[in-house]
Amino acid sequence: MARDKDKMDIPPGTPLRRVMPILVTLGLAALLGPWLFSAYWLNTFTTVACLALVAGTVAMLFGQLGMVSLAQFALAGVGGWVCLRLIHGFALPFEVALLAGALVAAVFGLLVGLPALRMRGLYLALLTLMVAAAVQVVVDVVGFPDGGTGFTGKIVAGQRVLIQRPWIASSDAAYYRYVVLWLALGLGLIEWQRATMPGRAWALIRKSEAAATAAGVSVLRYKAWAFTFGGFLAGLSGGLIAGLNGQLDNTGFPVSQSILLYALTVVGGVYNWVGVIFAGLLVRALPALLNDHGVDGNLANAFYGFALLVSLIQGRKGLAGQLADFYKFVRMSRILEGTATWGLVSISLGLLFAGLGLAGFAGAFFISLIALLFRLVIPGVCWLLLGFFGKRLQDRAEDLEAALSLRLAQFFERQGWVPDHRLIKRLLNWIFIGVFVAWVASGVFDVPYAVALTLIWLSMTAKVGLELAAYPRLLTLRQRIDKRFPKPFAAYR
């Protein structure tokens, strides 16, 4: 089946159509974020957006050109540094300093990229790592402008001076929106390039430099451009981080972070913009989540090694790649059905809980949505982890599950009950998701644990109830819709 799907011929879509999902998704995130999250989480997600932009440049270089750059986070440091210095020294407007920092980082990016014109693979990785280390050493010796006034910005004893955020985004909520919009712009630009001339040239270079040359592509120019553009966006992100905190210090951009960011970008997925958002979330949001629940956030690092291993074994597409594979199979009928039932359940539960005064509407609405989403995703993740222990084990488990389901279905049929044979799987799923998602959601959305748990179980029960009630009539409708609109996301990439 997977084979069949892969063979479908689908036009790649115009650049605008390929950029649109990024703008829409991040636009919605910018719009809804401040309304949903507590101050702590809003701050965390602002950082996530900054990191995602850096991850975007890592993914562009690795996914598009096959070049490993471990210096991107250090370039963010360069951008942030320049941005701060300019603001402290010359009181420039934030945007001007931001762009100036990005430009300087772009030049540095080009310098980092120069060896890449001759080197690949491990040697390039080592070289960029050295650059990252060098930036760290320089910063340690010279020091960031860490809060004093004047061009050098060194703190002299006494108060720290924070830089002003841009006037249109001085509050935390506004600054979150500001950063997410920059992220949308940055990722949008990367995707636009993937869909146009530079992207095609990069693809040829990745395939083989000889082939690219024979096609008339100037390998030198396109590689240099990728590094320059990557440096620009990374530097931009550094300036945004500086604006978030109002200051930076010399511990902000260590080499270890550069490596972690690279590894997690691979885990998130380098061939898809969603992957870099995952990378940002993994770097900052997961540790923050653990911290929020009184667990040491560094514990996440232990999990990352394992995650990297899994994603390398699973074909280097990362989390985003697997999500995209999943989307390719989704049918129109399920999307419509899902939108209708998910919307109905989540909105009514949101209204109910808000009405009872147990939680805000937005919080309840999103917890319910997340529960429904996890209900879909968790079984897939379980199979994926099983696959890690070997294809045979996975196959056997699938056979066993199929056999059990069949027995159960036959049993139900004999009893004349509703034809849902996935009862056992669902029950386990519910217990797990209820306990786990409630733990996450109670932190992020600031709701008592018991309320979150009730919400989650209620939403899943309501969804199943709706499904069962409508099942007989739904079947023919599904078939009719699928005939008219075959899998709409098959072209997704």
Partner 1 sequence: MIRIENLTVQFGGVKPIDGLTVTLDKSIVGLIGPNGAGKTTLLNVLSGFVTPVAGSMVVNGVVISEIPPHKRAHLGLRRTFQTDQIADDLTLWENVEAVADHAGYRTQAEAQRDVQRAIDYVGLGKRINRKGSNLTTGERHLTEIAKALIGKPQLVMLDEPGAGMSESETHHLEAVIRGIPAYCGAQVFLIDHDVALIVACCEETMVLDFGKLLALGPTKEVLEQPEVRRAYLGDFEAMEAAA
Q: 315-344: which residues touch partner 1 (CB under 8 A)?
A: none
Q: Read off the amino acid at residue 150.
A: G
263 within 8 A of 283, measured Cβ to Cβ: no
Q: Counting runs of H as helices and runs of E as strands, what totals does the chain give? A: 21, 0
Min CB(177)–partner 1 separation in Å: 34
Per CB under 8 A, which region of 6-14, 68-76, 339-347, 403-411 contacts partner 1? Answer: 6-14
Residue 312 is a binding residue for partner 1 (CB under 8 A)? no
Which of 357, 11, 337, 55 minimizes the C-alpha distance to 186?
55
Q: Which is nearer to partner 1, 205 or 455 (CB)?
A: 205
Q: Which is nearer to partner 1, 3 or 414 (CB)?
A: 3
Min CB(179)–partner 1 separation in Å: 31
Count how many residues are written for the chain. 493
Applying CB under 8 A, among 75, 99, 105, 201 the residue interacting with partner 1 is 201
Q: Which two tokens stand for residue 28?
A: 């919605």
d(CA 109, CA 225): 9
Q: 384-413: which residues touch partner 1 (CB under 8 A)?
A: none
Three-state secondary structure call for residue 11: coil
Q: Which two tokens stand for residue 5?
A: 């799907």
Applying CB under 8 A, among 91, 96, 168, 197 the residue interacting with partner 1 is 197
Residue 493 is a binding residue for partner 1 (CB under 8 A)? yes
Question: 238: phi > 0 → left, psi -120 to 50 → alpha, else beta; which?
Answer: alpha
d(CA 13, CA 196): 11
Min CB(217)–partner 1 separation in Å: 6
Cα dihedral 440, 441, 445, 450 in deg (nearest 10): -120
Applying CB under 8 A, among 126, 137, 210, 299 the residue interacting with partner 1 is 210
Residue 10 is a binding residue for partner 1 (CB under 8 A)? yes
Q: Read off the amino acid at residue 348.
A: S
Instruction: Identify the residue whose tokens are 């120069």.
Output: 114
183 within 8 A of 52, measured Cβ to Cβ: yes
Applying CB under 8 A, among 142, 214, 312, 313 the residue interacting with partner 1 is 214
What's 156's DSSP letter? -
Q: 264-293: which residues touch partner 1 (CB under 8 A)?
A: 271
Applying CB under 8 A, among 163, 204, 320, 438 the residue interacting with partner 1 is 204
CB atoms within 10 A of CB 36: 18
Q: Which is nearer to partner 1, 27 or 66 (CB)?
A: 66
Three-state secondary structure call for residue 358: coil
> Pattern 217-236, binding to partner 1, x per CB under 8 A?
xxx-----------------
Applying CB under 8 A, among 1, 11, 122, 392 the residue interacting with partner 1 is 11
Residue 7 is a binding residue for partner 1 (CB under 8 A)? yes
Applying CB under 8 A, among 28, 96, 211, 431 the residue interacting with partner 1 is 211
Note the residues at the interface with partner 1 (CB under 8 A). 6-7, 9-12, 197, 200-201, 203-204, 206-208, 210-211, 213-219, 271, 493
